[in-house]
Amino acid sequence: GAVVSQHPSWVICKSGTSVKIECRSLDFQATTMFWYRQFPKQSLMLMATSNEGSKATYEQGVEKDKFLINHASLTLSTLTVTSAHPEDSSFYICSAIWTGDNTEAFFGQGTRLTVV
């Protein structure tokens, strides 16, 4: 199957700093990637749709100025959590859409962000 790599796997940062998370499709090109947030023992909640070469589309309630998304190439999308606060601590997961005979979503391994 297609491989999506997310980096870093975990990060600890101080309040007020910014953190960048990368999502790469390693063996396919993805014009669309998605960013999710997951709290402990809860499901994945879609934050935004990342479109290569255009602005990201954010879900209702997600602050676009706080969660900056850049999809500059067909294999890389980045999520930057700006001015992080402890309540931003969460598990962030990306997925990339593979379009073949059928459309499938493949997920990265996730990034555990802890803001102290």
Partner 1 sequence: GQQLNQSPQSMFIQEGEDVSMNCTSSSIFNTWLWYKQEPGEGPVLLIALYKAGELTSNGRLTAQFGITRKDSFLNISASIPSDVGIYFCAGQLKGGNKLTFGTGTQLKVEL
Q: Which residues bind partner 1 (CB under 8 A)?
A: 1, 4, 6, 32, 34, 41-46, 49, 59-60, 91, 93, 95, 97, 102-110, 112
Residue number, 9 or 15, with CB nearest to partner 1: 9
Minimum distance, C-beta of residue 101 to partner 1, in the bound complex (Å): 10
Across the strands, what pairs with 98? 104
Token pair recorded at residue 37? 């947030």
H helices, E strands: number in the chain: 0, 11
Q: Which amino acid is at 45?
A: M
Minimum distance, C-beta of residue 59 to partner 1, in the bound complex (Å): 6
CB count within 10 Å of CB 102 equals: 6
Minimum distance, C-beta of residue 98 to partner 1, in the bound complex (Å): 10
